[in-house]
A and B are shown apart, each in its own frame.
Chain A
C-alpha cells in the first residue's frame, strides 16, 4: 500500500509541474467562442492571423449562456473578442459587458451587408447570418408546410419538436404563436400563450441542443421541427427526406456577432482580428469550407456551395428581423408561462 501512496504522490507532483501554463511571448489575444470547427478555423483564420499580428491566441469555449455568464462574473474581463448569437449579445449589451465599436477601426465594414454592420445600436458587427425556420420529413408530412400557421395543423399531432424557451429560437415560437392568434406577443402575451397551449398536442418534446433534435429525427420520434438552418445538413445526413420549408411569411434572420468586452486587455488586437474575419478573402474561404455563411457582399458561391447557406441579397432581404431589446425584456416572464404550459 505504501508503494501506491508513493506512486500517487509522484504522479501528482509530476502532473502539477507540467500543469504550469506556457508563458506566452508578446501579446495574447483571448477569444470566447463555441469551440467547434476548430481545425478549419485554425487553418483559415487563426494561422494567418497569428502570422499577421505576431501574437498568441487562446480560447474560452462553451455555449452562449455559459460564456456570457462567465464574462459577467468577471465583470467584462478575461476575453478580448466574444462571439455570440444576437439574442445573447443583446443581453450582454444590456448588462454593460461590451464596448461601443469605433467603425473607423474596421475598414472592412464597408464591404458587408447593411444589416450586419451595426445590428445592435453601436456595438459589434455580425460576421455570419442564418435563419430560423421549419424543417420537416417530406415522406411523413405529405402536405408541404408553407406557413408558420401550418404548425397548428391536425395532421402534425404528436410529431413536432420546438426549440426550448431557453434556446436562441425559443422565444421566437411565442412571437409566431402571437402572429397565429393575430396579436403582437409583446402587447398581448395572454393570447400568444393561448396559441402556444393550442400547439401543445402537436409537440412530442422540446429540444435544447441541436444534437437532441437530430436524434429525435433520426429515431423517428418527430417528423417536423422549428430549427436553425445550420442543422439542416446534419439532419439530412441522417434522414435524407427532411427538407427546409419555404414559408410564405419568410424565415427569421439570426446574426452571430463579435464584440469587444469592456474589460478586454488587448482591444486594439481585437479590432484587428474583427476586421480580419470580415475581409472578403476570409469570408470566401469560410463559406467554401462550410464553416459560416458570408456577410461580405463580394463573396461568390456556386449554387452547390450556397445550397444550405443563407446567401444572396434577395434571400436576406426577405428575412424577418427580431427586436431583441423587446424580446429580452419579455423573456423571463415568458419562461415561466412556457414552463407552466409544458411542465405541469
Chain B
C-alpha cells in the first residue's frame, strides 16, 4: 500500500496512545523480573526465578498445556463455523432474518459467569457429559462473536460482484472462496484469530465453572495460586504469554509465507 502523508498531529496522538498502551507493560515486565517475593516496581534485584517457578510448579505446567489446547481448538472451531456465518451475513443479508446478527453477539451479551453456570448445570450435569466438552464449547461460544463480527466488518467492504464474476467464468465455488474471498479478508481473519486466541487463553469467568476434578486452565490455576501467594509469578506469566503470542504470530506469518497484515 502506498504511504500517504498523515497529519503530524495524528501521528503525535498515535504515539501517545501507544505510550498509554505500552507504559503499564513496562511495569509488568519490571515486576516479573524482580527478585522479591511480592509484586513491586521498580524491580529490586533482577532474577528469572519467577519464570522458572511457572515451569517448576507441576500444576502450572499441566494447565499451560490445557489452556493452549483449549485456545487452539476453540479458535479453530470458531473460525470454521464463524467464517461461513460471517460470509452468509454479508452475502445473503437480504435473505436472512435481521435478528440473526443479534443472535451472533449473544455470547458477549450474556454475562460469562451466567453462561458458565448454565453450561455446567443445564448441560454438563443434566446430561452427565464430560466437563471437557462444555469447557471447549463454552470457549468456542465465547470467541465466536469476535470471529463473526471482525470478519463481517472486513467483508462489508468486499465487492461480491468480483466473486460472482469468477463463478460465472467457471471457477468452482470452493476454489473461488479460497482464491478470491479469503485473500481479501486476510487481515480480518488474522485479527479474528488473534483476538479469539487471546480471549480464550486469558478467560477466567467461564472457566471458573467449566473446570472440574482433574481439569483446570492456567488463569484458574493462577488465581488459585494468588489466593495464598502474592509473588511476581502472575507478572511473569503475562510476559510469557506475550512471548508466546509473538511466536504464534511468527508461525502464522511463516505458514502464510507472506508479510501478514501488510497487503
Contact = CB atoms under 8 A, between A and B. Distances in A.
28 contacts: A1-B183, A1-B256, A4-B252, A7-B255, A8-B72, A11-B72, A12-B76, A15-B73, A19-B132, A21-B215, A36-B225, A36-B229, A39-B57, A39-B58, A58-B214, A59-B213, A61-B211, A62-B208, A62-B211, A62-B220, A62-B224, A63-B227, A69-B209, A73-B209, A79-B213, A210-B226, A214-B38, A215-B230
A54 interface: no
A39 B221 CA distance: 14
A331 to B, nearest CB: 20
B227 A78 contact: no
A3 B39 CA distance: 43
B182 interface: yes
Interface stretch (A91-99, A230-238, A248-256, A312-320): A230-238
B58 A38 contact: yes
Contact of B226 (A11, A16, A209, A237): A209
Interface in B222-245: 223-230
Interface of B: 36-40, 56-59, 69, 72-73, 76-77, 79, 117, 120-121, 125, 132, 178, 182-183, 186, 208-209, 211-216, 220-221, 223-230, 252, 255-256
Most A CB atoms within 10 A — which of B182, B211, B230?
B230
B222 to A, nearest CB: 10
B181 to A, nearest CB: 10
A112 B214 CA distance: 31
A19 B69 CA distance: 8
Interface residues of A, number: 47
B40 A238 contact: yes
A9 B227 CA distance: 38
Contact of A12 (B73, B213, B230, B255): B73
Given A8-B76, A39-B57, A78 B212 contact: yes
B76 A9 contact: yes
B230 A234 contact: yes
A234 B38 contact: yes
Q: Is chain B's binding surface mostly helix, strand, loop or mixed?
A: helix
B119 to A, nearest CB: 10
B37 A21 contact: no
Contact of B223 (A7, A9, A63): A63
B69 A61 contact: no
Contacts of B36: 237-238
Contacts of B37: 234, 237-238
Given A63-B223, A210-B230, A211-B227, 14 more contacts: A3-B255, A3-B256, A7-B255, A12-B76, A15-B69, A15-B73, A35-B216, A35-B224, A38-B57, A63-B224, A66-B209, A70-B120, A209-B226, A218-B38
B212 A21 contact: no
Contacts of B117: 69, 73
B238 to A, nearest CB: 14
Contacts of A60: 211-214
B59 A211 contact: no
Contact of B229 (A2, A63, A218, A234): A234
Contact of A36 (B76, B132, B178, B224): B224
A34 interface: yes
Contacts of B208: 62, 66
Contact of A70 (B73, B209, B228): B209
Nearest to A31: B213
A294 B77 CA distance: 49
Given A4-B255, A16-B73, A73 B38 contact: no
Nearest to B77: A12
Interface string A147-191: 000000000000000000000000000000000000000000000
A197 interface: no
Nearest to B228: A36
B216 to A, nearest CB: 6
B40 to A, nearest CB: 6
Contacts of B223: 62-63
A114 interface: no
Interface in A197-215: 209-211, 214-215
A74 interface: yes
A274 B203 CA distance: 34
A79 B120 CA distance: 15
Contacts of B226: 209-211
The list of the 5 closest CB pairs from A to B, nearest first, reads A35-B224, A36-B228, A58-B214, A238-B38, A211-B230
A143 to B, nearest CB: 27
A61 B219 CA distance: 12
Contacts of B182: 1
Given A11-B72, A15-B69, A70-B120, A35 B212 contact: no
Contacts of B212: 60, 70, 78
B213 A34 contact: no
